[in-house]
Amino acid sequence: MRSFFFLAFVSAIFLAVFGGCSDTGSNPAKPAGQPHITSMQPDSAFAGDTLKIVGTDFGASKGSSTVSVGGANADTIYLWSSTEIRLKIPAFAVTGNVTVTVGGAASNAATFKVRGTVAATPPHIASVQPDSAFAGDTLKIVGTDFGASKGSSSVTVGGKNADTIYLWSATEIRLKIPATAVTGNVIVTVGGTASNAVTFKVRGTVVADVSFAGDVLPVFVSAGCTGCHGGTNNLRVDTYARLMSGTSDNGPVVTAGNGEGSVIIKKLRGTASFGGRMPASGPPFLDNATIDKISLWITQGAKNN
């Protein structure tokens, strides 16, 4: 059953995200109850100005919900309803993603320009030390642009959030490997922007290679994806070679070895700098575990296996 849903979800992605399909940027579908941003007014402003966010499922009142603007939490809220939020743009906000988080569920990421600032540099992992360890051990992550303190930033190890952080600085993070983590990607997310993915082995766990032939290509055939992306469209998915050579309007769809840097993963996570989060023909959006699996296939080298 899980395999069926994985196949169906991946099919929806390729039918709706690229080429001649329906990435119009207009209100992509989402899971029931998950907050979703449809528009922001104005489209750019200075820190201290008022920002109006329009969407759905924000909740009747703020409660413990939050809004992040370019990596800075908005502390001054003028209005909060299920479909509209008005806030004061934080003093330290920079050009970047706006996200609304309700009950621990984050909305799609909408790009907003804070005038007088430039887009924040995405976090980047240079290395993880050691290269393998057991759950409960300490993992050291070295890199750049992690931010001076954790704030609302996060780290996932094999798809699991690291709740115990021992140290957080702009260039180094030390954390306790989550008890349920498995071999997979380590990702640092700052201000709604995900870093590159670095594969890490959690000892005592194994992760089988994700197969293109067994897990991906049958989706294109059985779900009719080749009808949309098997002819003259820019992106074709009817063979491995065509998928790997295909491009969207914003570059290659798959960058072998870099799951989180690939266009398809950015679109699925809602972190792309263009358009809306995909799939547009849902509901729902893919859950993190499913996106992690697609990202892992790419990180494993996007093999023709």
Give tens-digit pLDDT for 266-292. 777 777 777 667 665 555 666 666 777
Question: Which CA distances in Å does 237 have to 18, 55, 215, 264?
Answer: 10, 33, 13, 13
* Residue-level pLDDT at 21: 40
Q: Which residue has the higher pLDDT, 55 or 269?
A: 55
Residues near 87 by beta carbon (within 8 Å), at least 6 away in sequence: 50, 51, 53, 67, 69, 74, 76, 77, 78
Q: What is the mean pLDDT of residues 14-27?
A: 39
Q: Model confidence at 229, in pLDDT bands (50, 70, 90)?
A: low
Dist. CA 121–CA 269, nearest whole Å: 18
Least confident range from 91-105, 156-170, 225-239, 268-282: namely: 225-239
Domains 1-32+121-305 and 36-114 agree in fold: yes
| Cβ proximity of 38 and 72 under 8 Å | no
Mean pLDDT for the stretch of residues 137-156: 90
- Tens of pLDDT, residue by residue over 156-212, are 887 788 999 999 999 999 999 998 888 888 989 887 677 888 888 888 876 667 877
Contact 54, 84 (CB under 8 A): yes
d(C-alpha 85, C-alpha 67), whole Å:
9
> Which residue from 154, 148, 108 is spatially nearest to 274, judged by alpha carbons?
108
Determine how β-strand 110-114 pairs with β-strand 44-45: parallel
- CA quadruple 208, 108, 146, 149: dihedral positive or negative? negative
pLDDT value for 289? 66
Query: Considering only 4-13, 86-95, 207-216, which range has the smallest mean pLDDT?
Result: 4-13
Confidence of residue 304 (pLDDT cuts 50, 70, 90): confident
Query: With 70 as the cut, is the pLDDT of residue 124 above it?
Result: yes
**Which residues are within 8 A (CB) of 239 and not within 5 positions of it... i.e. 6 or more apart?**
none
pLDDT averaged over the chain? 78
Would you say 271 and 97 are in contact if contact means Cβ atoms under 8 Å apart? yes
Distance CA(58)–CA(37), nearest Å, equals: 9
Q: Which residue has the higher pLDDT, 53 or 150?
A: 53
CA distance 291 to 197: 12
Q: What confidence tier does 54 reach under pLDDT thresholds 50, 70, 90?
A: very high
Between 156 and 263, residue with greater pLDDT: 156
Per-residue pLDDT at 216? 73
CATH of 1-32+121-305, one of 3.40.50.970, 2.60.40.10, 3.90.1150.10, 3.90.180.10: 2.60.40.10
Domain limits, the chain: 1-32+121-305, 36-114
So what's the pLDDT on residue 207? 64
Convert 260-298 to b/e letters by CB count within 10 Å (16 or more is b): bbbbbbbbbbbbbeebbbbbbebeebbebebbbbbbbbb
What is the average per-residue pLDDT within 220-243?
Answer: 64
CATH of domain 36-114: 2.60.40.10
Measured CA to CA, the distance from residue 302 to residue 291 in angstroms comes to 14
